[in-house]
């Protein structure tokens, strides 16, 4: 068993754009320990989203490898990747991606039901309490505030007890106060459920809430320099 929850080696992603080659990722080595809460920070176009997509098996690298939970994603076919994502990866996106016709609770348990697993009722109760959704269980997403919708999305991502949780600008659509609150809850929930979390953001204030901050610039990780630059 590898000691890393996430291990990316020499990760490259090149896109062809007419005559040019765009280097979205240009040799990234990146590891995450179990139960770590890591923030990846960078400007738009720095490659941080590409990196997150690779880690979640949503995109394939031009070169290099990604191992999640000791398993190399490169060796998997499309179906295996789908199953892998369903069981091992939880996603939280900027625009919540909730099913509008289902109520809060139905949205949360949807991925578990899709995998044909029984719903762990006690775990659900605990999570609803923790994320302050108990009273909104029956509500439809359209009647919720942005912060509340994102909390539902976080609950949905955690419900299937994934090995890693990937959050792509989760506070991007929220004002800074409720963004901070939502991320605080994510932090508390991750701790409680021993969850590994990788978060990408361009907001230093949000990133500061992580255990570790990784800076990415022009498709490369620039650790130290970036850390002081932002100050």
CB of 84 to other proteins, least distance (A): 4
| 22 versus 83: smaller Cβ distance to other proteins | 83
Site of interaction with other proteins (CB under 8 A): 1, 34-35, 69-71, 76, 79-81, 83-84, 87-88, 115-117, 130, 132, 134-135, 147, 161, 163, 177-178, 180-182, 184-185, 187-188, 191-192, 194, 208-209, 211-212, 227-228, 231
119 DSSP 8-state letter = P
CB of 23 to other proteins, least distance (A): 29
| 140 versus 209: smaller Cβ distance to other proteins | 209
CB of 143 to other proteins, least distance (A): 16
Tokens at 9, concatenated: 């080696």
| 23 versus 88: smaller Cβ distance to other proteins | 88
| 64 versus 226: smaller Cβ distance to other proteins | 226
Other C-beta atoms within 10 Å of 66: how many?
Answer: 23
Residue 196 β-bridge partners: 164
3-state helix, strand, coil in the chain (%, to 5): 40, 30, 35
**b/e per residue, 86-109, with b = 16+ CB within 10 A?**
bebbbbbbbebebeeeebbbbbbb
Phi first, then psi: what are they for 172, rounded to 5°?
A: -60, -35
| 48 versus 163: smaller Cβ distance to other proteins | 163
CB of 227 to other proteins, least distance (A): 6
Give 97's contacts (C-beta < 8 A, 6+ positions apart).
153
Q: Which helix (H) or strand (E) is 186 found in, with range?
A: helix 176-192
Closest CA to 26 of 56, 44, 48: 48
CB of 81 to other proteins, least distance (A): 7
| 12 versus 187: smaller Cβ distance to other proteins | 187
CB of 190 to other proteins, least distance (A): 10
What are the CA-CA distances from residue 42 to residues 6, 34, 194 (Å)?
19, 23, 26
């Amino acid at each position: 068993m590898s000691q890393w929850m996430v291990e990316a080696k020499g990760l490259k992603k090149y896109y062809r754009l007419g005559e040019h080659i765009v280097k979205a990722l240009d040799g990234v080595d990146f590891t995450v320990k179990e139960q770590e809460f890591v923030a990846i920070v960078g400007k738009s176009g720095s490659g941080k989203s590409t990196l997150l997509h690779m880690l979640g098996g949503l995109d394939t690298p031009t070169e290099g490898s990604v191992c999640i939970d000791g398993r190399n994603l490169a060796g998997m076919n499309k179906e295996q990747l789908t199953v892998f994502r369903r069981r091992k990866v939880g996603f939280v996106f900027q625009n919540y991606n909730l099913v509008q016709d289902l109520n809060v609770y139905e949205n949360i348990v949807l991925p578990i039901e899709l995998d044909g697993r029984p719903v762990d009722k006690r775990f659900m109760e605990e999570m609803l309490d923790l994320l302050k959704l108990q009273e909104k269980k029956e509500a439809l997403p359209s009647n919720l505030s942005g912060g509340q919708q994102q909390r539902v999305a976080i609950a949905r991502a955690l419900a299937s007890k994934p090995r890693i949780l990937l959050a792509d600008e989760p506070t991007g659509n929220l004002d800074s106060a409720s963004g901070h609150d939502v991320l605080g809850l994510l932090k508390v929930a991750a701790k409680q459920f021993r969850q590994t979390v990788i978060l990408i953001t361009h907001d230093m204030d949000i990133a500061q809430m992580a255990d570790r901050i990784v800076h990415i610039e022009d498709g490369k990780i620039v650790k130290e320099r970036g850390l002081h630059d932002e100050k």
